[in-house]
Amino acid sequence: MIVRTVIFSFLFLLSCSQKQTLTEHDILVLGHIYQWHTEGNKIDERLENKEYAAFKELWLLGDLCSETTREQATLEYLDEIFDLSSNSTKWAVGNHDIRNGNLDYISNTTGRPLYYGSIEDNLAIYVLNSQMQHYLFKDSCAYKQLQDQDFRSFLDNISKDNDIKHLFVLSHNPIWSDAEESLREYELIGNAQAGWIDMICEWNGEFRNQYLETLIEIQRKGVEVHCVSGDGGQYQKSFYETAESGINYYVTGINNSYVTGINDSNYTVSGSQLKDGFNTNPDSILVFDYDTASKRYLHKFIPVENLR
């Protein structure tokens, strides 16, 4: 009886330590996923013990940990979970990812710069560094110009390539939040206003002034255009809008680990939707699946707990 109990306990612990394989969706999008009330070196514990390799694409849209680059060990921890150097893993950095400097920790782990484009078959993806008002980049006009030139060149290639049918522009901040009239009807999109961010060192350097026209032209050409950001979860649990241009806009993000360790271990605040100003309705994450019938990428916001 004692032997059986020991064997059962060992097998139970072994099963708990194994990562859970996730295979339900083509693309998984995660943003603002840090675990509150830690040393700044952990992701939300609900996402920690998962196996992400089965997704065709894994898009990490910033603020992975609250102090991502404080220590090299944090990058090693993240790499073990997300395989950051994989071609299928895209990372658009957020302010929490870079505020300790040490940008080489990121580039040495991913093997890529903070902005770049990717094309596979008929799917084009561009990862933007939206942190252009962060002190590390605010006065670096040369850096802004290099990203601007690279992004414009990428979009120019998309305009000329008749094989491309889908374009995703990934960023942490919703720098497009005031780009179109229907978007401007919202008081706030994401965790903070971001449409004012100058992507280049010019008086009209905002996303809407620099890139929207080109994106609309690409959309009219028959390419399905999506702008996806990951700075959400604190006030809105999800955001989606198809604007008058036909371009699709999304924000995702989670934040309810804030309430754990305070008064509730189930990521909600009983009888209330707010805690210290934060929305504590259930967290959701964004997924995309390719629909072969319509030949479109269809999205869903699913509860974090449904990620299995």
Q: Where are the domains of the chain?
A: 19-306
User: What distance in Å separates the CA atoms of residue 17 and residue 12, rounded to the nearest whole number?
Assistant: 9
User: What distance in Å separates the CA atoms of residue 146 and residue 153, rounded to the nearest whole number?
Assistant: 11
Cβ atoms of 241 and 249 closer than 8 Å: yes
Q: What is the pLDDT of residues 157-174, one digit of tens each?
A: 999 999 999 999 999 999
Kind of pairing, strands 57-60 and 116-120? unpaired
Look at residue 306 in the predicted model and tell me its pLDDT. Answer: 82
Q: What is the pLDDT of residues 130-156, one digit of tens each?
A: 999 999 999 999 999 999 999 999 999
User: What distance in Å separates the CA atoms of residue 132 and residue 229, rounded to the nearest whole number?
Assistant: 15
Q: Residue 227, exposed/middle/buried by CB under 10 A (0-12, 13-18, 19+)? A: buried
CATH architecture of 19-306: 4-Layer Sandwich (3.60)
| pLDDT over 50 (residue 261) | no
Q: Which residue has the higher pLDDT, 56 or 281?
A: 56
**Cα–Cα separations (whole angstroms), residue 249 to 12, 103, 122, 230:** 43, 28, 20, 11
Look at residue 64 in the predicted model and tell me its pLDDT. Answer: 98
- Both structure tokens of 236: 């809105």
DSSP element (H, E) containing 286:
strand 284-291
